[in-house]
Amino acid sequence: MKLRAIAVTISATALSLGMAGSAGASLGSQARPAPQVAGTRLQSALLPASAFGSGFTVFNRHNSGRTLLSSQALIRPSNLSCVNFEEYTFVAGFGNTAGAFDSINNPSPAFSNYPSVVLGGDQAVLQFKSAGAAASFYNRAYARYNQCSAFKEPDPADQTTVELTTQSLSNTIIAGHRAFQLIQHANYASLSGFDFYDVTAVVLAGTNVYTVDDVNGTNDPISGSLLSRLISRVQALYKH
């Protein structure tokens, strides 16, 4: 079964425009540029599907390619409708120099164990040329999630719709980094009689912004240990 969180796609326009240049500019005469890797490398560090649950699979993968992108922001979260901001996953276009994304699917959700069931989720990382640029995007993303407190969106994968209503949006610390957790009630037209929750965690760590979400029946927030593992795997790419 595919849900909103699983049916997200990359914006082809943003990707083609975002690959127009290089992010090799100096950060200043007194500072060394932050280490950078291409989108293909970022994707290699994403968590295996098994980290999300036994039998889970990856079915939708995107990255920004083998070269660094321009750091010019072509789109901002505030310019996107709530549907586009939350339904589509962009690996390029926000001024990030690289990005990678995986969708995770639970092919056999045990509805007999409801509400202790996870239907699937996503993981993504956006890399920016500086910590300041990453923090700017993180703050804009928080503001957009805060504004999008209730809306309805299509789920074309299942030919249905989902109505998302925010239950909580809270700041926290994950693995020593600034983060926020978002919990939205997800009313799927095709799942009448079941309450599900779209849960999202976003972490700002250095020059990267990490996002992990899932759809579950218990409104449990995203595990801090899961995000810590993801951050550690990506940070290992920068070690020489």
Instruction: Look up residue 239 and give its amino acid.
Output: K
What pLDDT shows up at residue 239? 82
pTM: 0.87
What pLDDT shows up at residue 32? 78
Is 226:209 a contact under the CB 8 Å cutoff?
no
Strand partners for 147: none
What pLDDT shows up at residue 30? 55
Is 11:88 a contact under the CB 8 Å cutoff?
yes
What is the distance between the terminal CA atoms of the chain, rounded to a whole angstrom? 41
What pLDDT shows up at residue 156? 55
Which portions of the chain are predicted below pLDDT 50? 1-29
Closest CA to 19 of 38, 35, 33, 36: 38
Tokens matching residue 236: 């290992």
- What residue ranges define each of the domains in the chain, with the CATH number in brackets? 12-23+35-238 (3.40.1000.70)
